[in-house]
A and B are shown apart, each in its own frame.
Chain A
Amino acid sequence: MPSLFNKEEVERIRSEVERWEREVVPQWLKKIPERMEEFTTLSGIPVKRVYTPADLGDYDYWEKLGLPGLYPFTRGIHATMYRARIWTMRMFSGYGGPEETNERLKFLIRHGETGLSLAFDYPTLIGVDPDDPLAEGEVGIVGVSVPTLLDMEIIFDGINMGEVTTNMTINPPAPVLLSFYVATAEKQGVPYNRIGGTTQNDPLKEFIAQKSYVFPPEPAVKVAMDLIEWSVRNLPKWNPISISGYHIREAGATAVQELAFTIADGIEYVRQLIARGLDVDEFAPRLSFFWDSHINFFEEIAKFRAARRMWAKIMKEWFGAKKRRSMWMRFHTQTAGVSLTAQEPFNNIVRTAIEALAAVLGGTQSLHTNSFDEPFRVPSAFAAKIALRTQQIIAYETGVADTVDPCAGSYFVEWLTDEIEERAWRYIDRIERMGGMLEAVKKGFPQREITEASYTFQREVDESKRFIVGVNIFRSEDIDEVRNVPLLEFDQEEIERRQKERVKKVRSMRNKQRWERALDNLRKAAERGENIMPYVLEAAKAYATLGEIMGALKEVYGVYVEPPIY
């Protein structure tokens, strides 16, 4: 193997570093001791005083890095990256009813956002209608309420669905929301081959972290695979899944756990799809990923780079993918909601900017930047605009987008990239030995690992081993700043009333025969184990509601109840 560094020279550097540690460093320590006894990343990886070629040792440039657009894609999936096209600025948006959300989407498009991303309210996320008892008090709060095709039509009123791509953060009801989307696009006259976007549709991380599960693990995975299979054969521009580390991280996982569990989820899905008889190169180019970008700057950059290299290797060596696109880890990134503080909330603008920068240096394909007011509520238009502007400043003022993968070759970043990768492989090995991620999830393994990590982190914050400005260091008792944050105001009760009325109206106006037949056919298809997508699409077009479609599926698949682990 050709090594990047001359062997003798590496040895000389190694002995020089040792001498420096022995002779030079102690003199400095005597004058001023270091700030901490041990420095670690947010994931607890020890960070040394300095990194040199000696830390990379026998480094094979071509095996580890290569060139942008070429295997193993560590440096980026495209040869020209942001020199050709800036990442998609895709702000996760939605609140209230479809009217409020339509207005917010248009506001963001006017200010230069380049992709859409819909945030749904909790009733929609767990597949119940606004007039379900479970929905009481929750309609329209954390996202938009979309119980029927009519709501989707209103959201996209005046927005050309053939010109824009839309992410939908939706999981168990993903087939329903995708059907609403496709049916709305059809009404706009957009052909299937121009409908672009993403359904999150990642069931395993629901049990691991996000907890908006509905069906038990096995049928949940089956439904998600139905969507993928249907999508790759009907919607060539759609990303049918966004394999998500974001929620895993936000639930308290370390960067290494986020990376390992998410890739393990991905491996499970690839196996499931191959087991259905799909060719790996038929679906793999449409798989997409979703990462968190946390506050420990270099760790995040290293994580993104390691992720690309690992996925390329898995697709090529484990699954025999032939197409280059099958080996691409294309991903969306969101800055870390969990890093935001309710104290001195304007500081969150700074945190988000740093996290966004890490995502860009890590080579993301699309990016959501959090708004500073999100510890309290969904963002106001004012706060969302600042978050969008943060991306625009990074893209057009700083120059960081002008060359590809500028952190490559930093001894620290390359060492950390290798280290994170190695630690992630160890987790993946353990999960493989359990029989893969579906089995590991059923055993509660990733759930327990995350619970441990989040508790460790919180204790470290309490014991001031980790600092959060304004929370456990430089704390001010002045809360006027918080009181003065102009939060988004809307009449939730009024929206809930309006959404209940609309869903009732839809139920009364639709063609009853077509609706009944569609739901009946769906139920039977699910019982037969067929791909449910065509039947869900027909039910959606017949104006069956979200709650009705999910209700029919629940009858067949059952409902998951989690054993409480803490």
Chain B
Amino acid sequence: MYMSSPQSTSVEALLAPRKRPYKVLVAKLGIDGHDRGAKVVARALKDAGFEVVYTGIRQTPRQVALAAVQEDVDVIGVSILSGAHMHHVKKLMEELRKLHADDIPVVVGGTIPIPDVEPLKKMGVKYVFLPGTSLKEIVEKTRELAEEKRRLEGED
């Protein structure tokens, strides 16, 4: 038998300003109910140390943009499996611009046909995660985007 020792913490670490965890909005845009992917990704991001806000289903572009601003998130992750991604993402980008929040990077996942990937990127989407993307890749790319946003804000 042995006792585990309490974790030793250095004085420097205790004095250093505590970094806010990266915050992500996971949003179900549109009216489809397929929330499996959104929930799995939300959980993976949470397990990777992100603070996650999940909107639940049936959100309008306006609601998602407002939530992103109110929650002051670093990244918006949109999940759509209704095929209406072109329409809704375009609207979301417009709403973010209206709120002067178009500095928040947007990533999209779902059943997206390959020919739609480039047009989505032209709208300003940073990454399109196609079916079969690993959670690891989603977490890594989301972290990169969050880091970059914090750097631009001068927080890091």
Contacts and interface: CB of A to CB of B under 8 A. Distances in A.
B131 A141 contact: no
B33 A211 contact: yes
B30 A454 contact: no
Contacts of A141: 82-84
A134 interface: yes
Interface in A460-476: 461-462, 468, 470-472
Question: A134, A376, A377, A454 — which one has the most chain B CB atoms within 10 A of its CB?
Answer: A376
A563 B39 CA distance: 13
A566 B54 contact: yes
Contact of A562 (B42, B52, B57, B82): B57
B131 A342 contact: yes
Contacts of A122: 30-32, 82, 84
A36 interface: no
Contact of A487 (B42, B86, B113, B132): B113
Interface residues of B, number: 40
B33 A212 contact: yes
Nearest to A475: B132
A458 interface: yes
B131 A341 contact: yes
Contacts of A378: 83
Contacts of A479: 114
Q: How would you classify the secondary structure of chain A's contact residues: helix, strand, loop or mixed?
A: loop
B123 to A, nearest CB: 14
A171 to B, nearest CB: 10
A566 B33 contact: no
Interface in B99-147: 111-115, 130-132, 134-136
Question: A342, A472, A564 — which one has the most chain B CB atoms within 10 A of its CB?
Answer: A564
A461 B44 CA distance: 13
B9 to A, nearest CB: 31
B131 A252 contact: no
A565 B57 CA distance: 11
A138 B125 CA distance: 20
| Closest 4 pairs (CB-CB, A-B) | A211-B33, A137-B87, A566-B39, A342-B131
Interface of B: 26, 30-36, 38-40, 42-44, 46, 52, 54-58, 60, 82-84, 86-88, 91, 111-115, 130-132, 134-136
24 contacts: A133-B60, A137-B30, A138-B84, A142-B82, A210-B33, A211-B34, A211-B35, A343-B132, A376-B111, A376-B112, A378-B83, A454-B36, A454-B39, A455-B43, A462-B134, A472-B134, A483-B114, A487-B113, A562-B56, A564-B54, A564-B55, A564-B56, A565-B39, A566-B38
